[in-house]
Amino acid sequence: MNAFISRLLSILIFACLGSVLLWHYFTHRDPALSHPNGVNQKPARSNGVAASGPLSVQQKPAKRNQVIDRLIASYSTSWKKHEKNFQFYRSLLGNKCNAISAAVVTQRNSPTGTNITFDADKKKILEVTPALYNLFPKETPFIKAPLDTCAVVGNGGILTNSSCGKQIDSASYVIRCNLPPLKNRHEKDAGSKSNIVTANPSILMQKYSSLNERRRSFVEDVRLYGNALILLPAFSYRQNTAVSLRALYALEDFGYNGPQAVFFNPAYLSNLKEFWHTQGIRAMRLSTGIMMVSLALELCNNVHLYGFWPFSVHPYTYQQITNHYYDNQPVNHRVHAMPAEFEALLNLHNKGVIHLHIGECTN
Ligand SMILES: *[C@@H]1O[C@H](CO)[C@@H](O)[C@H](O)[C@H]1NC(C)=O
Ligand SMILES: *[C@@H]1O[C@H](CO)[C@@H](O)[C@H](O)[C@H]1NC(C)=O
């Protein structure tokens, strides 16, 4: 009997301890770590409800955070390009991924009769029919590579009040993510020039009724990006294809000299994922931001990054910042490894490979 009671007691004690520990874990996680920002490549299957989350910025005063302090302490402020390291990473990426000929689906790399294997949905294969083939550009759009200076603009809240717009627009080639708002109050911080803009099908679904209804507002909004390439992950998830094709039809049917829709090559994205896996990033899916940095590393001789900072606290002012410079939509952490990506980019910055701008732009 005594033995039974003591066993019962020890079970109770362990159960109590366990729940205290669990409670502690869930209530004491650092808010700065649980609200990373950054550019967001949600799979099309996540619906609008899941993506809308808590919209208010946490009002608690931001506290100093060990992770942020460690990262900022290692961030080299006197950046200088290290040509050897730059060439090393460019050739590593070039050998594995070859963005110039393979990042975008073209008639040359995807002839009629070949199969396209979806990168986020390996069981899905699509044969290139003559009709599909005719939607692809003949050649790579990156025929002019290497370009001189590229700015890759992440959408992080760190851009708010950064005054980086002029510096971003001074780059010869500007790459943006997920159809970000640019005009009016954003121009000073984010600039307006755009040569590539990615478009996540989830935004087409939410904002433009999947382009199943009127398409004029989509076409007019996209005019904001001038003659930029609109880059769509049409062959990542199977739900992405039809809506991406409709985006291309809409831009072509309205028949003006504006943005051109092209599709990410899923073979390129698969190789990119493997590349970053060897660099320690084990996410279900890479963020659009790191995809664009990788592209820029192959296309451009000088790569500058703005708007990349995946935490909800500003590293210098300790003010709370929003997830994006234009809204506070949360990032999907089941899918992306934002802090790990950021550390990889910080490492490349410290090696003189890319120039990661954090905080205000002074010139
Ligand atoms: C394309 O995929 C289909 C179906 O899986 C297969 O039968 C065909 O042989 C493949 N074609 C090529 C060129 O690989
Ligand atoms: C940006 O600047 C405005 C105006 O000075 C200020 O009210 C706001 O708090 C600032 N926001 C951030 C995140 O720094």
In order along its 363 residues, the chain shows pLDDT tens digits of: 455 555 644 554 444 444 433 333 333 333 333 333 333 333 333 322 222 223 233 434 445 688 889 999 999 999 999 999 999 999 999 999 999 999 999 999 999 999 999 999 988 999 999 999 999 999 999 999 999 999 999 999 999 999 999 999 999 999 999 999 998 889 999 999 999 999 999 999 999 999 999 999 999 999 999 999 999 999 999 999 999 999 999 999 987 777 899 999 999 999 999 999 999 999 889 999 999 999 999 999 999 999 999 998 999 988 899 989 988 887 766 778 888 999 999 999 999 999 999 989 986
Structure tokens, 283? 């996410």
88 contact partners, CB below 8 Å, separation of at least 6 = none
324 included as an active-site residue: no
**125 CB less than 6 Å from ligand 1?**
yes
pLDDT value at residue 196: 98
Torsion, Cα of 177, 182, 185, 189 (10° steps)? 50
Nearest ligand 2 atom to the CA of 321 is 13
**Within its chain, how far is the Cα of 191 from the centroid?**
18
Nearest ligand 2 atom to the CA of 322 is 13
Helix (H) / strand (E) element for 196: namely strand 196-198
Residue 324: beta bridge partners?
156
> If you measure from the C-alpha of residue 174 to the centroid of ligand 1, how many angstroms do you get, rounded to a whole number?
38
> If you measure from the C-alpha of residue 213 to the centroid of ligand 2, how many angstroms do you get, rounded to a whole number?
38
Residue type, 235: F
**111 CB less than 6 Å from ligand 1?**
no
pLDDT value at residue 10: 54
> If you measure from the C-alpha of residue 131 to the centroid of ligand 1, how many angstroms do you get, rounded to a whole number?
17
**129 CB less than 6 Å from ligand 1?**
no
Identify the sign of the CA torsion 263, 268, 270, 274: negative
- What CATH number belongs to 81-356? 3.90.1480.20
pLDDT value at residue 363: 64
Identify the sign of the CA torsion 115, 121, 124, 128: negative
pLDDT value at residue 294: 98
**122 CB less than 6 Å from ligand 1?**
no
> If you measure from the C-alpha of residue 320 to the centroid of ligand 2, how many angstroms do you get, rounded to a whole number?
10
The residue from 35, 304, 324, 336 that is catalytic is 336
Q: Ligand 2 pocket: which of 37, 57, 59, 160 to mutate (most atoms <8 Å of CB)?
A: 160
This prediction has a pTM of: 0.82
Backbone angles phi, psi at 3, to 5 degrees: -60, -40
Q: Is there a contact between 177 and 341 (Cβ–Cβ < 8 Å)?
A: no
Q: Ligand 2 pocket: which of 56, 160, 161, 323 to mutate (most atoms <8 Å of CB)?
A: 161
> If you measure from the C-alpha of residue 114 to the centroid of ligand 1, how many angstroms do you get, rounded to a whole number?
7
Q: Which residues line ligand 2 (CB under 6 A)?
A: 160-161, 319, 321
Torsion, Cα of 18, 21, 26, 30 (10° steps)? -160
Among protein residues, the one whose CA lies closest to atom 5 of ligand 1: 125
CA–CA separation, 239 and 220 (whole Å): 24
